[in-house]
């Protein structure tokens, strides 16, 4: 369990380091006695967006957001800053499980979510260093090119052909001059943001709406009518649990969500010459289609922030501040970055950090309402949460507002009919099966990437092994 005293010891991410004092959101201490209409557990983006839209829809409701550490302590303050239209469930899977119409609606709503985030940033005067440069997903080998072409074809089948385009090597290079580039997928649907500025900015907007923001307060249990905390119980009608990667630390929820670490590095500010060699002029976020995901952005202050998966899963879903840095991972991520952009071979890495993101067993994010206990649980974004938290915040607000104001008389809003509104995933396997399965999948992904790099051919065996182990 991450203790409050560890807050002081966590690594200084680029985002923490460049957050100005006046941009920080000031929480209040909790004196141990409180009664409110709605209590939100977790002051990450899910909790804060929920508070934001709830305060708009139910202006007379009393709302408290509590956090064990503080605003943006979790993934929301530490991430890669891709506010994308991605979700962990691909279009084909959503079609298989919910129908074609549901898949198209969900993707369209994700596209619109970026407009909504931009609208709120402007309306609330939040400078989150945001730029809508889209995303470029590079193909740097024959198997990667196949995967990119398949992705583009899938988007076309669902009517999104204009939004996701296949670029040839030269057109791709004009946007992002990566080594060994053979082509790329390009979409305008991504904002590059400064995650801590975004999260604290939404926090400040929430405070202006009269919401109580309390920290450090750790919820130990949620039950009908109460959130039990380390400082005393909070009496409440509704509870929104927005603890994502930390969910396994809550009472009776040990196997609901696996915390998987994603790690990042940031470079010193790059010179104009280096940027001329790399490109990324409009700040598109970038990745490629290797199995062990990497992701990057050109920051507003002219650095590269770059991250990757592949850090070990810790037995028993453990979370510790010492896991927030990992020197093997740091070196691997730096190597991967220099491999993409050889112009960076002498560039200094100024920051290294990481944090846990939440993975449900079915690899699908969801908002679940348990009205018997008045508990709404939202999250499980599998690393694609920055924009989705905004959508989920609006869904949480619609769910509670409908119950309070409409008593379910009218048909649910468009958002409440989306296929992400539904039951939580089944639970993860007990240990040691969980540890063996997840770490085997991680290893298989590394082997598959190495094999593809070496042979230039798709690694069917290891690719299939990963899908079989880690998907549904
Ligand atoms: C390194 C990294 C890079 C990522 N990059 C991207 C990216 O580029 N794009 C993208 O879309 N997604 C990315 N993600 C995922 C994304 O950041 C998350 O999905 C999203 O921020 C989740 O938001 P959240 O509010 O649900 O959870 P969090 O931001 O994790 O917030 C949960 C909060 O709950 C608090 N909490 C936990 N337990 C308790 C308790 N018992 N009592 C009180 N408070 C509690 C925590 O202190 C924390 O502040 C990344 C994640 C990581 C770790």
Q: Give 331-357 pLDDT, tens digit per residue.
A: 999 999 999 999 999 999 999 999 999
**Closest alpha carbon to 11 in 336, 264, 315:** 264
Determine the atom of ligand 1 nearest the C-alpha atom of 86. Answer: 11
Q: Is 71 exposed, middle or buried (0-12, 13-18, 19+ CB in 10 A)?
A: buried
* pLDDT, tens only, 372-391: 999 999 999 999 999 999 99
Query: 375: helix, coil or strand?
Result: strand
Give 199 Cα–ligand 1 centroid separation in angstroms. 10
Give 75 Cα–ligand 1 centroid separation in angstroms. 3
Ligand 1 binding pocket mutation candidate from 5, 25, 39, 42 (most atoms within 8 A of CB): 42
Mean pLDDT throughout 153-182?
98
Give 65 Cα–ligand 1 centroid separation in angstroms. 15
Q: 295 CB under 6 A from ligand 1?
A: yes
Determine the atom of ligand 1 nearest the C-alpha atom of 219. Answer: 42
Give 356 Cα–ligand 1 centroid separation in angstroms. 7
Ligand 1 binding pocket mutation candidate from 48, 84, 229, 246 (most atoms within 8 A of CB): 246
Determine the atom of ligand 1 nearest the C-alpha atom of 242. Answer: 26
The predicted pLDDT at position 190 comes to 98
3-state secondary structure 364-395: CCEEEEECCCCEEEEECCCCCCCCHHHHHHHH
- For 238, 293, 393, the CA distances from 404, given in Å and listed in that order, are 10, 42, 17
Give 181 Cα–ligand 1 centroid separation in angstroms. 32
Query: 208: helix, coil or strand?
Result: helix
- For 51, 97, 122, 242, 250, the CA distances from 56, given in Å and listed in that order, are 9, 33, 17, 19, 29
Q: State yes or no: pLDDT of 4 exceeds 50.
A: no
Q: 383 CB under 6 A from ligand 1?
A: yes
* pLDDT, tens only, 266-281: 999 999 999 999 999 9
Task: Assign 472 a pLDDT band (cuts: 50, 70, 90).
Answer: very low
Q: State yes or no: pLDDT of 9 exceeds 70.
A: no
Q: 326 CB under 6 A from ligand 1?
A: no
The predicted pLDDT at position 2 comes to 45
The predicted pLDDT at position 106 comes to 98
- For 14, 80, 265, the CA distances from 350, given in Å and listed in that order, are 8, 16, 8
| Helix residue ranges per DSSP H, 100-168 | 100-123, 142-157
* pLDDT, tens only, 72-85: 999 999 999 999 99
The predicted pLDDT at position 463 comes to 67
The predicted pLDDT at position 238 comes to 98
Torsion angle in degrees (nearest 10) through CA of 107, 108, 110, 114: 150
Name which residue sits closest to atom 20 of ligand 1, judged by CA. Answer: 385
Q: 381 CB under 6 A from ligand 1?
A: yes
Q: Are 116 and 130 in contact (CB under 8 A)?
A: no
Name which residue sits closest to atom 25 of ligand 1, judged by CA. Answer: 44
* pLDDT, tens only, 386-421: 999 999 999 999 999 999 997 767 789 999 999 999
Q: 47 CB under 6 A from ligand 1?
A: yes
Locate 348 and state its tokens: 């200094």
Residue 306 and residue 264: Cα distance in Å, rounded?
A: 6
Give 371 Cα–ligand 1 centroid separation in angstroms. 25
Locate 97 and state its tokens: 């499980």
* pLDDT, tens only, 135-148: 999 999 999 999 99
List Cβ neighbours of 37 (8 Å cut-off, separation of 6 or more): 58, 61, 62, 63, 236, 237, 238
Q: 68 CB under 6 A from ligand 1?
A: yes
Task: Assign 422 a pLDDT band (cuts: 50, 70, 90).
Answer: very high
In percent, the amount of the chain with pLDDT more than 70 equals 95
**Closest alpha carbon to 361 in 244, 471, 203:** 471
Mean pLDDT throughout 99-113?
98
Locate 396 and state its tokens: 């949480």
Q: 357 CB under 6 A from ligand 1?
A: yes
Mean pLDDT throughout 52-75?
97
Determine the atom of ligand 1 nearest the C-alpha atom of 46. Answer: 25
Q: 284 CB under 6 A from ligand 1?
A: no
Q: 244 CB under 6 A from ligand 1?
A: yes
Residue 337 and residue 265: Cα distance in Å, rounded?
A: 10
Give 355 Cα–ligand 1 centroid separation in angstroms. 8
DSSP string, 320-364: -GGGG--HHHHHHHHHHHHHH-GGGTTPPEEEEEEEEEEE-TTS-
Name which residue sits closest to atom 50 of ligand 1, judged by CA. Answer: 79
Mean pLDDT throughout 432-461?
88
Name which residue sits closest to atom 10 of ligand 1, judged by CA. Answer: 384
Residue 233 and residue 235: Cα distance in Å, rounded?
A: 6
Q: State yes or no: pLDDT of 91 exceeds 60.
A: yes
Task: Assign 471 a pLDDT band (cuts: 50, 70, 90).
Answer: very low
Which of 10-19, 78-87, 159-168, 301-310 has the weakest average pLDDT?
A: 10-19
Residue 147 and residue 51: Cα distance in Å, rounded?
A: 39
The predicted pLDDT at position 373 comes to 96
Q: 43 CB under 6 A from ligand 1?
A: yes
């Amino acid at each position: 369990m991450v203790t409050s005293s560890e807050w002081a010891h966590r690594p200084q991410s680029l985002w923490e380091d460049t957050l100005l004092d006046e941009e920080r959101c000031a929480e209040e201490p909790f004196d141990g006695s409180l009664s409110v209409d709605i209590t939100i557990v977790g002051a990450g983006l899910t909790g804060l967006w929920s508070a934001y839209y709830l305060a708009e829809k139910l202006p007379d409701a009393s709302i408290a957001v509590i956090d064990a550490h503080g605003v943006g302590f979790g993934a929301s303050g530490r991430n890669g800053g891709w506010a994308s239209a991605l979700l962990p469930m691909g279009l084909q899977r959503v079609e298989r499980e919910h129908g074609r119409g549901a898949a198209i609606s969900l993707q369209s709503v994700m596209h619109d979510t970026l407009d909504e985030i931009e609208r709120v940033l402007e309306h609330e005067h939040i400078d989150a260093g945001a730029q809508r440069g889209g995303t470029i997903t590079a193909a740097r080998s024959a198997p990667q090119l196949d995967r990119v072409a398949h992705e583009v074809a899938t988007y076309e089948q669902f009517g999104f052909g204009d939004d996701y385009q296949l670029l040839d090597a030269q057109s791709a290079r004009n946007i992002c001059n990566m080594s060994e580039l053979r082509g790329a997928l390009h979409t305008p649907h991504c904002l590059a943001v400064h995650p801590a500025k975004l999260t604290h900015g939404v926090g400040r907007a929430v405070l202006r709406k009269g919401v109580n923001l309390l920290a450090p307060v750790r919820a130990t249990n949620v039950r009908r009518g109460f959130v039990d905390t380390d400082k005393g119980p909070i009496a409440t009608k509704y509870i929104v649990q927005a603890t994502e990667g930390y969910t396994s630390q809550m009472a009776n929820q040990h196997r609901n969500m696996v915390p998987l670490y994603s790690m990042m590095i940031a470079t010193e500010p790059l010179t104009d010459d280096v940027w001329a060699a790399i490109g990324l002029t409009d700040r598109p976020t970038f990745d490629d289609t290797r199995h062990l995901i990497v992701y990057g952005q050109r920051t507003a202050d002219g650095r590269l922030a770059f991250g990757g998966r592949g850090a070990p899963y810790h037995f028993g879903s453990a979370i510790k501040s010492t896991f927030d840095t990992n020197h093997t991972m740091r070196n691997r991520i730096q190597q991967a970055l220099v491999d993409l952009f050889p112009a960076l071979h002498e560039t200094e890495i100024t920051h290294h950090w990481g944090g846990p993101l939440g993975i449900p067993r079915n690899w699908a994010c969801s908002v679940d309402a348990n009205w018997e206990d008045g508990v709404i649980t939202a999250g499980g974004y599998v690393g694609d949460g920055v924009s989705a938290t905004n959508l989920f915040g609006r869904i949480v607000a619609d769910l509670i507002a409908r119950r309070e104001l409409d008593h379910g008389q009218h048909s649910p809003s468009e958002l409440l009919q989306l296929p992400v509104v539904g039951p939580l995933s089944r639970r993860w396997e007990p240990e040691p099966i969980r540890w063996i399965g997840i770490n085997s999948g991680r290893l298989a992904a590394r082997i598959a990437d190495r094999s593809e790099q070496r042979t230039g051919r798709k690694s069917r065996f290891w690719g299939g092994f990963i899908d079989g182990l880690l998907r549904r």
